[in-house]
Amino acid sequence: MPAGVIDGHGRLMNREAFPWAVWDPPMGSEEDAWQMFRSALALRRGKARDYVVFGRMQRPAGFDGIATRTWIEAERRHAIPAVFHSAWHSPAGRFAIVAANWTSEGQTVRVHDERLGRRCLETLSAAKGMTARELDAGPAGIQLSLAGLSCALIEAL
C-alpha cells in the first residue's frame, strides 16, 4: 500500500523519514514523490488489484542486480534498495510479482522464480501510461527494465 509523510508545510517528503524527522531543508523532489504515487496507484487500482488488494503475499522472488541508494542526512546514513518487490497469489490462485523503482533513474534487474512458469505477462506503469507485453521466463529468468518512478506487475500465464 503506497504511503507517505506530509511535512508541516504540506509537502510530500521524498526520502526515508520518521514521524518526528527534521523536515527542513526538504530533500528530493516532491513532484517525483507524487509521480511514484501515481504509478503505484494506477497499477494497484488496475491490473494488480486482484493480487495486492485481494490476494495474499508470498515468499519473495529472486532478484539480481538491485542497486542501493545511500545518502547522509542529519548525521544518519540511509541505505535503501532502488527497487522494492513482493510476490502475490490472487484469490483465483494466480501468481504475480510486483516491483517498484522509486528512484528517478532507470533500473534494470533480473527476476528469477519458478512460480512464473515459462511465460509471463509484464505490465509497466509509468508517467507515460501503462504498457504490457508477454515474456519468456526461462531458467535464467527475465530482465526487467523499470523507468524512473515506475512500477511493474509480472504475472504467470
| CATH number of residue 145's parent domain | 2.60.40.1180
Pairwise CA distance, residues 42 & 9, whole Å: 27
4-29 average pLDDT score: 71
Cα–Cα distances (Å) from 104 to 18, 26, 151, in that order, read 22, 17, 12
pTM: 0.89
Residue 3 lies in a domain: no
Pairwise CA distance, residues 118 & 116, whole Å: 7
**Over pLDDT 70: what percentage of the chain?**
90
- Work out the mean pLDDT of the chain and round it to a whole number: 90
The domain in which residue 41 lies consists of 30-156
Which grid cell is 50?
A: 486482484
Residue entry with cell 508541516: 8
Which grid cell is 17?
A: 523519514
Residue 129 lies in a domain: yes
The listed range with the strongest mean pLDDT (33-37, 57-61, 126-130) is 57-61
| Dihedral sign (CA 76, 81, 82, 83) | negative
Residue 146 lies in a domain: yes
What's the structural domain count of the chain?
1
Residue 16 lies in a domain: no
Greater pLDDT, 85 or 12: 85
Residue 12 lies in a domain: no
